[in-house]
Structure 1
Amino acid sequence: MMTIHELANYSGISIRMLHYYDRIDLLKPCCIEPNGYRKYNEESLRRLQQIMFYKEMDLPLKKIKEIMNQPLFNQKAAIKNQKDFLIAKRNRLTKLIEQMEQILEGNNEMDFKVFEHNELEEVFRSRIMQLDEGYQQALINQYGSIDALIARMTKNKAKITESAIKYYGSVDKYIESLKQAPLPKEGMGKLQLKLDGIVKKIAAYKGEDVSKPEIQKLVNEWKETFKMILEQDDISETFRRIYHSYMNRQEIIKIMDEIYGGGSSVFVGKAMKYNDRDMPAIK
C-alpha cells in the first residue's frame, strides 16, 4: 500500500494531478483511512500505468476515463492494442529519423516516401481502441485481428485519397472528420457479438432448406437484434439491402465466406430473403 505522496514520488505524477484523477473518477484510491490519508495498492499502480500509456497516445483524459471505466474494460487487451498503436507510430518515426541521419551524413537524395503518412492508419487504430470491449471483440471475431481489420480498411489508399478529396476537400479534412465522429454507444459491442453468433448458427445449416423453422427463427432473432442496433422499428429496406449484398456483391461474399465458410454468404442471404418473401424484390 502507498500513500498519495509515495505514489507521486514513485510514478512522477504530481500530488495535485493525482487529486485531480480522483476527483474526475479516473484513478480512485483503494481506500481512505480515518485520518483522511488516501491509500493506493498494486491494482492502483496498474491502472495509473495504463492511464500513462493512453496519455502517450495523446488521448484526452475525458476519453481515457470513458475507455477505462467501461464495464467490460480488459487491461491486457488494452495494453496489446496500445502496444500495436505505439509500434506503428514508432516505425513511422524511425523512418523519419533515418531520413534525417542520411541528410546529416551528406546524402542529398530526396525521398518523399518517408512523409507518406500513416496517420489514417493510426486514426483508425485509435478509434477502434476507443470502442467498448464487446465491440472490439466483435471486430476481432469478424476479421481475425485488429491489424487485419486495419489492413483491410487501408488496403486501397488511392481510392481512399480520391474519396477523401471528393467528399471532404482533402485527406487532412477527412482525418479530422474521423477524429470527431461519434463512437457507437456503449453496449453495441454485445449486440454485434450476438449478430455474429446468429449468422454462424444460420450458416451451420448450409445445404438445408432455408424455410426450415429453426433457420427462420434465427433470422427473426437476427432482425430483432439489428433493430436494437439501429434503434429503429422498421428495418425492412436495410434488411433487403443486406441480404441482396450477401447474395450478389462479390466483395461481401468473399468476406462472409472467409469468416463463416464457403457458401455461407449466399445461404444466409437466401434464408433472409425467404423470411422477407412477401416483399417485392429489390432493384
Structure 2
Amino acid sequence: PSSWEIQRIAEEITNTVKKDYEVFKADMGDYYWHSMVQIYLVFPKWIEEVDKKYGSGASKFIGKALKIYSENNLPKIDTLYKKLVSDLSRDPFSREIQQIVSEIANETRQINEALKVDEGENYFGYMADFYLSRPEFIKATDKRYGSGASKFIGKALKFYSKNKLN
C-alpha cells in the first residue's frame, strides 16, 4: 500500500472524490475523508462487501493505502489532540494546554453543528469522565497517544468544563 504506484492511485482517488462529491468539498472534507478511510479498515460489513467485489483483503489494502496517503491531511481535531498530548509532563491546567483544549472545543462544536449533533449541556465535562473512568476508552486512548494520555486529556477537559473557558 505504501509503494509509489499505489500512492499515486490513492492520490487520484482522493482528488476525484474531493472534486466530485459535495460532502468532501466542504470545510469538513478532511474529517469526512478520514472517517471514510476508517470504514475500509474497521467496519466488518463494509470490509465483507468490498472483499466480495474485489477479492479477499482488498478492503484492508485500500484502507491502508488511503490512510498512508492521507496521513498528512488529518482532520484538524486529530491534529489538535496530538498537539494536546505531545508532552504529557506539562500541566493539564496550564494556559498553554487550556488554549489547545479551547481550540478542540471550538473544532468539536463546528463538527457537531455540521453533523447536526446536539452536544447538550456540559459536553466536555461528560467527555472528561469518559477519558478518566471508562476502561475501554482509557485503553484505546492510551494505545493511540501513549500511556497516561487518557488521564491527561480527562483532567484538561474537566478543568476546561468547570471553568467555562472559551
The bucket for the TM-score relative to the shorter chain is 0.5 to 0.7
Report the structure, 1 or 2, having the larger helix content: 2
Q: Which residue of 2 aligns with 1:136?
A: 33
- Asked if structure 1 preserves the Cα contact closer than 8 Å seen for 2:77 and 2:104, the reply is yes
- Asked if structure 2 preserves the Cα contact closer than 8 Å seen for 1:257 and 1:265, the reply is yes
1:194 aligns with 2:71: no
* Residue in structure 2 matching 1:70, options 2, 8, 21: 21
Q: Which residue of 1 aligns with 2:105?
A: 223
CA gap of 1:229–1:213, structure 2 versus 1, over 3 A, is: same
CA distance in 2, matches of 1:139, 1:242: 24
1:242 aligns with 2:124: no
Q: Which residue of 2 aligns with 1:146?
A: 40
Structure number with the bigger relative contact order (C-alpha 8 A, sep ≥ 6) is 2
3-state DSSP of counterpart to 1:277? helix
Gaps of 5+ in 1: 1-45, 51-64, 74-131, 155-191
CA distance in 1, matches of 2:78, 2:145: 10
Structure 2 length-normalised TM = 0.56
Alignment of 1:162-173 (within 5 A): none
Structure 1 length-normalised TM = 0.35
RMSD of aligned Cα (Å):
3.8
CA-to-partner distance for each residue in 1:70-99, whole Å, 9 max, x for gaps? 3797xxxxxxxxxxxxxxxxxxxxxxxxxx
CA gap of 1:230–1:252, structure 2 versus 1, over 3 A, is: same
Count of residues paired in the alignment: 118
CA distance in 1, matches of 2:145, 2:157: 16
Deviation at 1:193, TM superposition (A): 1.0
- Asked if structure 2 preserves the Cα contact closer than 8 Å seen for 1:227 and 1:235, the reply is no
CA distance in 2, matches of 1:197, 1:235: 25
AA paired with 1:253? I
CA-to-partner distance for each residue in 1:27-57, whole Å, 9 max, x for gaps? xxxxxxxxxxxxxxxxxxx9xxx8xxxxxxx
Gaps of 5+ in 2: 1-8, 48-73
Alignment of 1:1-283 (within 5 A): 69-70=20-21, 134-137=31-34, 146-147=40-41, 149-150=42-43, 193-231=75-113, 236-278=121-163
Q: Which residue of 2 aligns with 1:31?
A: none
Indicate the percent of aligned positions where both proteins have the same amino acid: 26
Bigger Rg, which one: 1
